[in-house]
């Protein structure tokens, strides 16, 4: 009787499948370069415009906002979510999933390996983006006397949140891909769930709406985790609650992926 494949062998196989796709390599490489380029351009614009800033504008200036903007977060989330979705959708679209499950009938082990590989790759990518954008932007702003260091209050939290946007989005994308199983539909759904809908969220006088908004990763990043100095507004998410959202979404997506792949036919 054939012994079941070792989990490390499944990890190696999933790594090969993920990284052998030219689209994945190009998406990651171009995405990282584009986000870093945005940070450079934004920081240079701020540097060149600094002499014309008013005293109030200088006092309120956020150097971390030049490093990693809402546009950068949008690109990172869409890119990572798309990679996550395509790891599931692509295998079903090509029929490779039949070969995979014939070799490893235990579907939960296959999905677990996919989750680990995609989560690890996107975590490294997110950390690289966060560190690179921070480094180049603070180097450009350093002679203005407004650059910050990792040890300054709130900076490490922002850097960690920026990095974690990638794996959070990728695992959510996997869950969406498992449900939709259609390339275009999965990509559109990723954009809608992770970015488009949350961009319409604003603090309101209705606390139940604020509580609902505080369950969305992009919203809690934008109003809490991505800010070095938190706003004194009870309607906004708390740091603890925001980290819980960052943990809950990928966990729920992982469970969803496991259940859907296990129950649905290939």
End-to-end, the C-alpha distance of the chain in Å comes to 25
The predicted pLDDT at position 246 comes to 97
The predicted pLDDT at position 105 comes to 83
In this structure, what token pair is assigned to residue 223? 């109003």
Residue-wise over 50-89: b if at least 16 C-beta within 10 A, else e?
A: beeeeeeeeeeeebbbbbbbeebbbbbbbbbbbbbbbbbb
In this structure, what token pair is assigned to residue 163? 């990095």
The predicted pLDDT at position 1 comes to 46
CA distance 100 to 88: 12
The predicted pLDDT at position 122 comes to 96
For 240-245, the CB contacts below 8 A with 24+ separation are 241/214, 242/161, 242/214, 245/214, 245/215, 245/216, 245/217, 245/220
Cβ neighbors of 152 (< 8 A, separation 6 or more) are 228
Give the mean pLDDT per block of 10 residues along the chain (266 residues): 74 87 81 94 94 90 90 94 91 83 85 94 96 95 91 94 97 94 91 87 71 88 91 84 96 95 77
Task: Judge contact between 167 and 123, C-beta under 8 A.
Answer: yes
In this structure, what token pair is assigned to residue 42? 């934004």
* DSSP annotation of 55: H
pTM confidence score: 0.91
């Amino acid at each position: 009787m054939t012994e079941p494949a070792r989990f490390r062998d499944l990890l190696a196989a999933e790594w090969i499948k993920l990284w052998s796709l030219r689209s994945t390599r190009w998406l990651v490489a171009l995405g990282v370069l584009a986000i870093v380029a945005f940070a450079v351009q934004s920081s240079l614009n701020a540097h060149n415009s600094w002499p014309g800033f008013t005293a109030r504008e200088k006092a309120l200036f956020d150097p971390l906002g030049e490093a990693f903007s809402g546009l950068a977060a949008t690109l990172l989330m869409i890119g990572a979510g798309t990679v996550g979705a395509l790891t599931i959708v692509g295998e079903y679209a090509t029929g490779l999933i039949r070969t995979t499950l014939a070799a490893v009938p235990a579907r939960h082990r296959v999905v677990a390996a996919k989750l680990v590989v995609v989560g690890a790759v996107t975590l490294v990518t997110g950390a690289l983006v966060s560190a690179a954008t921070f480094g180049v932007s603070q180097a450009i702003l350093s002679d203005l006397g407004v650059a910050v260091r990792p040890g300054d209050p709130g900076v490490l939290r922002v850097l960690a949140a920026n990095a974690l946007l990638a794996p959070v989005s990728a695992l959510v994308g996997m869950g969406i891909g498992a449900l939709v199983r259609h390339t275009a539909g999965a990509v559109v759904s990723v954009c809608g769930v992770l970015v488009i809908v949350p961009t319409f969220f604003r603090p309101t006088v209705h606390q139940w709406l604020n509580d609902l908004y505080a369950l969305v990763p992009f919203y809690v990043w934008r109003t809490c985790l991505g800010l070095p100095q938190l706003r004194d507004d009870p309607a906004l998410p708390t740091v603890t609650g925001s980290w819980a959202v960052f943990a809950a979404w990928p966990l729920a997506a992982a469970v969803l992926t496991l259940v859907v792949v296990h129950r649905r036919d290939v």
